[in-house]
Amino acid sequence: MEETSEAELRSLFEIHVLGPAALTRAVLPHMPGRRSGTIVQMSSMGGQMSFAGFSASSATKFALEGMSEALADEVRSVKAAAAILTVSDAPTTPLRLPLGDDAVDAISGHLSAVRAELNEWEKVARDTRFPA
């Protein structure tokens, strides 16, 4: 790392991370319409482990591996897209559609807390109304 110049490091990131990211972003919008597609990222064992003398190269490969791992989860089975298509074809569509157990649980918990607070302070809140 000590002997790697700023320009060399930036160049490695351009080639190994930003290039594949740009290509991925370019093809992703076309995949849902086709309902298929495969993105292949070329990495190396340097994306899983590193060795002395390879810190700069491994950093780019770790970044590519992390990006690819997250992307795989983002597009896997496209369940979110199926849910969105289901509600978009419904006679009435929701204003919001939380996706995933974590989102539903978090929003439900938030709504319960808001309801409890409203119930606790309802009289005070209603007492601020203007006389009729």
Nearest of 66, 64, 67, 44 to residue 54 by alpha carbon: 44
Q: How confident is the model at residue 58 (pLDDT cuts 50, 70, 90)?
A: very high
Question: Which pLDDT score, from 0 to 100, does residue 103 have?
Answer: 92
- Over range 63-70, report the average pLDDT: 92
Q: What pLDDT shows up at residue 40? A: 83
Count the alpha carbons within 13 Å of 127 in the hemisphere toward its beta carbon.
4
Q: Indicate the length of the chain as a whole number.
A: 132
Q: How confident is the model at residue 47 (pLDDT cuts 50, 70, 90)?
A: confident
Selection from 3-12, 70-79, 87-96 with the highest mean pLDDT: 3-12
Beta carbons within 8 Å of 12's beta carbon, 6+ residues apart: 56, 57, 59, 60
The confidence band for 132, taking pLDDT boundaries of 50, 70 and 90, is: confident
With CA atoms as reference, report the closest residue to 28 among 82, 84, 68.
68
Please tell me the pTM assigned to this model.
Answer: 0.60
* Mean local confidence (pLDDT), 47-75: 90
How much is the mean pLDDT over the chain? 90
Q: Which long-range contacts (CB under 8 A, 24 or more apart) does 72-80 make?
A: 75/28, 75/31, 78/32
